[in-house]
Every structure is written in structure tokens, then in C-alpha cells.
């Protein structure tokens, strides 16, 4: 008797890692656009303050969306286990970033918790959307 895990760990971990990279790229692009295109010539303190606000308010929703798309990617070509795999992308992304919670300023910790919840919800939602899409595709397939 042979048993296989329904979790595609390789895809789950790659999706979690890539979602975190995507958040860093998006924040970096926003901060660079502000510095060089929108508001050039300001002081370093102004750019630092903008970067802090950008990270505080945009990183959590960006992380949730990145995990959502990562979960969609991780669950493609599956026939079962969509929601489990998607949720594990979110949980893995939280594990990758959990250490930042302990290094964060006390006033920023709530936003980290919100960000962690959005990652898990994004992963679950990505798995759910993939499941629904696969169910529709299977239901509309015409037998040969």
C-alpha cells in the first residue's frame, strides 16, 4: 500500500517565498517612484518617513494579495487538496516572516498580526478560488 501526501510542498514553499519577494519588490517600486518621480529633492528623513508609512499600510494587503496569487500558482494542476495547499502557502509565508514580529517596534506589532492573518486568508482564498475553477471546469467538460 502506497500513500502520498496531497500537499505539494515544493510548490507551497516556492509560492510562499515568492510572495514575500513580491511584497518587497512592490514596496521598493513604490518607494523608488515616490523618491525619484513623485517627490524628488526631499530630505532623507522625509523619504524614511514615507518608507515607514508605506510599509506599515501597504505591506499587509500586498502580502495578502501576493499569497493569494501564490496559492493560485501552487494549486494549479491539482485535482484535490486545493484549499489545504493554498492555506499552507499562507501559513508558510507567515512562518518565513514571523521573526519580524519580535524585532518590530511595539506599536507596529498589531499590523504584523494583521499581515499574518491576511497572508493566511489570502492563501485560503487562493485555494478556494482554484477549487471553484477546477469544479467548474470538471462540470462543464464534455465526455469523449
3-state secondary structure 73-102: HHHCCCCCCHHHHHHHHHHHHHHHHHHHHH
Q: Is residue 81 part of a domain?
A: yes
Rounded to an integer, what distance in angstroms lies between the CA atom of residue 75 and that of residue 121?
15
Q: What is the pLDDT of residues 57-71, one digit of tens each?
A: 999 999 999 999 999
Q: Is residue 2 part of a domain?
A: no
Rounded to an integer, what distance in angstroms lies between the CA atom of residue 116 and that of residue 93?
8
- At 76, the pLDDT band (50, 70, 90 cuts) reads very high
Q: Is residue 49 part of a domain?
A: yes
Range of the domain at 85: 9-139
Q: Is residue 13 part of a domain?
A: yes
Q: Is residue 130 part of a domain?
A: yes
Mean pLDDT of the chain: 92
Q: Is residue 19 part of a domain?
A: yes
Whose cell is 502520498? That residue is 4
Q: Is residue 106 part of a domain?
A: yes
Q: Total structural domains in the chain?
A: 1
- At 46, the pLDDT band (50, 70, 90 cuts) reads very high
Q: Is residue 4 part of a domain?
A: no
Amino acid at each position: 500500500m502506497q500513500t502520498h501526501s496531497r500537499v505539494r510542498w515544493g510548490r507551497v514553499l516556492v509560492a510562499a517565498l515568492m510572495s514575500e519577494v513580491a511584497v518587497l519588490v512592490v514596496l521598493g517600486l513604490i518607494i523608488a517612484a515616490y523618491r525619484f518621480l513623485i517627490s524628488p529633492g526631499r530630505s532623507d528623513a522625509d523619504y524614511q518617513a514615507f518608507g515607514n508609512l508605506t510599509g506599515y499600510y501597504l505591506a499587509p494587503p500586498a502580502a495578502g494579495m501576493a499569497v493569494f496569487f501564490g496559492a493560485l500558482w501552487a494549486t494549479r494542476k491539482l485535482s484535490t487538496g486545493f484549499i489545504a495547499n493554498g492555506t499552507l502557502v499562507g501559513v508558510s509565508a507567515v512562518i518565513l516572516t514571523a521573526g519580524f514580529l519580535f524585532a518590530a517596534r511595539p506599536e507596529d506589532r498589531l499590523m504584523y498580526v494583521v499581515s499574518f492573518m491576511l497572508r493566511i486568508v489570502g492563501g485560503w482564498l487562493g485555494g478556494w478560488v482554484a477549487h471553484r475553477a477546477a469544479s467548474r471546469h470538471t462540470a462543464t467538460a464534455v465526455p469523449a
